[in-house]
Structure 1
């Protein structure tokens, strides 16, 4: 009986491993690259798009486009517009349609709402195992 309990517990732990592994490989912002996201701070909702090349675009409610850049170093998502820079430390990837409020390094509560997110890439294929004759 005790052996069966250990096997069930081990199976449960094995099921949890892919989730833990994928969470560890997640990079802040990667799920929204190329996707417009509504970012609201102090009652003003801007549309922010992070591009794969590190550039970003902020569109104000009035339609004004502000060039920007972004990085995701050290577990933080940082956006820079001109001389101003603001960083957040997301705890998990954004989910489409689910607003999340993060505190920035400027002590500002900012709500992020993604209308769509990128699908994580599939895992790499296993290495090919060749026979003894290659």
Structure 2
């Protein structure tokens, strides 16, 4: 059995907001991206797919299917019956690590190597089009 640490953490404590924080949709910056998550010296890569599926890849290369949700100030990851949630009130920024403590009491360091650009609100045409 391969040992891996089951944690995800997108904490508000160290997350830096994008310029459009009021327009931010939780999870939009990580959908389709892979984040490195280090817990107790073990680094897993978690790929967050659009639609709520995820894959946790362990240091040995084992791929563990998971699901994820973002909302209500939390990012949650589930594998089978196990679930863990982290505070999540601001968008991840590429290259900025974040330390977060989960609902299970595990502290992890998260790093997004890349993030999606925030969606800009559509501009409505003025009086003259």
Give the 5 Å matches for 1:1-134. 22-126=20-124
Please give the TM-score of this superposition, normalised by the length of structure 1. 0.75
After TM superposition, the runs of 4+ consecutive aligned structure 1 residues lying more than 6 A away are none
Separation of aligned partners in 1, 2:41 and 2:83: 19
**TM value normalised by structure 2:** 0.78
Gaps of 5+ in 1: 1-18
Aligned-residue offset at 1:113 = 0.2
Q: How many residues align?
A: 113
Structure possessing the higher relative contact order (Cα contacts under 8 Å, 6 or more residues apart): 2
Structure with the bigger percentage of strand: 2
Higher helix share: 1
Structure having the higher Rg:
1
Q: Distance in 2 between matches of 1:105 and 1:25?
A: 27
Instruction: Note the residue ranges of structure 2 that are not aligned, 5 or more in a row.
Output: 1-16
Q: Distance in 2 between matches of 1:36 and 1:20?
A: 18
Secondary structure class of the residue paired with 2:20: helix
